[in-house]
Amino acid sequence: MDLLVISKEELKMLSNEEFLKSFAEMFYAKDSFNTVFTAINKHVFKKIDKHFTDLKYDDYVNIQNNIVLNDGVKRFSNTLFKYLYLMGLVDVERFEGFPSKEKIERYFKDRATNKDRIRVPIQKEKMATLEIEDLLKVERFYSSDTKEIDELKMKFYWHILSEYDFKNKQILALKSDNFHDGELLIGDEIIELNEKFEYLFEHLKRLTNDGLSTMSPILKNLADKLSININLTPTVIRNTKLINTITCPNCQDSYSAELFNWCAIDGKLVCKDCGDTLKKIFTYQQLTNSPIEKVDNKQVYSNLEKNYEDEKKDIIKKGVDFRRLQEIMDEIGKLGEEYVYKVEYKKLIDKPFANLIDKTKADNPKNGYDILSYDLEGNEIFIEVKATSTLRDEFYISQNELETAEKLLKSGKKHYVYFVKDILSENPILTIIDNILNDDRFNKVGLNWKMTKEH
């Protein structure tokens, strides 16, 4: 029985069981048949006690809002009601949150064709893109004020490449007379341009060779300026835009991954347009346009303190068992990292980059440092954490950690060792070493360096 060509009159002649068998066979794989049949039969047909052609919008809402039902039942029911919607068996106007009938018809045709297909995942080569850390660097730089021509060019190229789909030739062909009264003519399109770029085009007007003329060196300088370790090209910027674009699972339209474009419906992410419609039926959650604003930093810090104290009590409770000495040392090291993370968070609690502190660096020893944090101006600082339960002024540091410190310091970056003594006490003692390679307070002893403090 082909449920995509059957008439409404023929459907009404089928029993619930006959229809459900055909529905599960046509649109689900064989190994899913029993699960789908049982779920719909038990939780929809028998529970509501209606012929399937008499199901209404209110039945759909009750199923989706039933907190007892699991996601699988709700998902199968959603597919069932989409089918009824497609066949004109329910009030179409009340299901305004559903996609168009054309999309739903394609959806069921695809299900019928591909239900038993085994999809083998293809290993795709990753696109060259900016990681979030580097993307945030560029966005912070873009938001800063400047009238330096080279920096304005950097910002202009970033803006045009990340916001629009113009070709390189169209961008490089721009002259000062393409810009007028806040608008830029590029190709055959006119776009509004931020007033920060007025000064740039006024400058171009005064040049003998009017125009931008070059892009690659400017983008390279941008990467160097922000310590971005990737060849920053127009392709990389366009790829970054692509992977930071999300497709709404409801309407299948695409928007940037900025929070203001999205909301949550029963915990599922959908675009704002769909959310405004679906909130009439489901639980709706508005997302703020800034994840930093959404976070209560003081509450986060309170949780950090509690977690730190709980971990410390757990180590003390276990006591010292020399058979698990290495395990204890690892636990003390982790506790030291939690303590330093807490210290750094408190330092930045009123700054927008408190929630950018990254303590996952410690998970990979190859990094050569444990925490990426920030100073009060937002500049990166690289922290190696050393912790001990004693009051002795000594700790061990590896050759890799020393080489990392040397590399970072030589490149002009800020590297610190945070040495925490008496970590299990009520008041640990923190010593911050701003140049481990040249600190008169400590001597290197041995090969896997043991640092001892001069007295």
The per-residue DSSP string of 99-138 comes to: --HHHHHHHHHHHHHHTT--PPPP-PPPP----HHHHHHH
Instruction: Return the closest-CA partner of residue 265 out of 252, 277, 282.
Output: 282
**Distances in whole angstroms, Cα of residue 166 to Cα of each of 147, 162, 186, 216, 285:** 25, 10, 8, 16, 36
Q: Report pLDDT for 444.
A: 66
| Separation of alpha carbons 92 and 57, rounded Å | 9
Residue 375 CA to residue 83 CA, distance in Å, equals 57
Q: Determine the angle formed by the axes of helices 325-347 and 297-318, rounding to 10 degrees.
A: 160
Is-contact 168 276, C-beta < 8 A? Answer: no
Spatial CA neighbour of 440 closest among 430, 429, 450, 452: 452
Instruction: List phi, psi (to 5°) of 406.
Output: -65, -45
pLDDT at 49: 92
Residue 372's DSSP bridge partners are 358, 382
- What pLDDT shows up at residue 253? 85
C-beta of residue 219 within 8 angstroms of C-beta of residue 232? yes
Which pLDDT score, from 0 to 100, does residue 255 have? 84
Task: State the pLDDT at residue 448.
Answer: 54
Low-confidence ranges of the chain (pLDDT < 50): 118-123, 289-295
Query: Where do the domains of the chain lie, and which CATH numbers do they carry?
Result: 8-114 (no CATH), 132-243 (no CATH), 245-289 (no CATH), 297-453 (3.40.1350)
pLDDT at 100: 87
From edge to edge, which strands make up the β-sheet containing 262-265? Answer: 268-271, 262-265, 284-286
pLDDT of residue 224: 93
H or E segment and range at residue 192: strand 189-192
Length of the chain (residues): 455
User: Can you give the pLDDT at residue 316?
Assistant: 76
With 0-12 / 13-18 / 19 or more C-beta atoms within 10 angstroms meaning exposed / middle / buried, residue 422 is middle
| pLDDT for the residue numbered 449 | 54
Compute the distance between CA of residue 66 and CA of residue 170 in angstroms, rounded to an integer.
Answer: 55
CA neighbor of 255 nearest in space, from 244, 239, 240: 244
Give the residue from 170, 169, 161 showing the smallest Cα distance to 236: 161
State the Cα–Cα distance between residues 245 and 248, nearest whole angstrom.
10
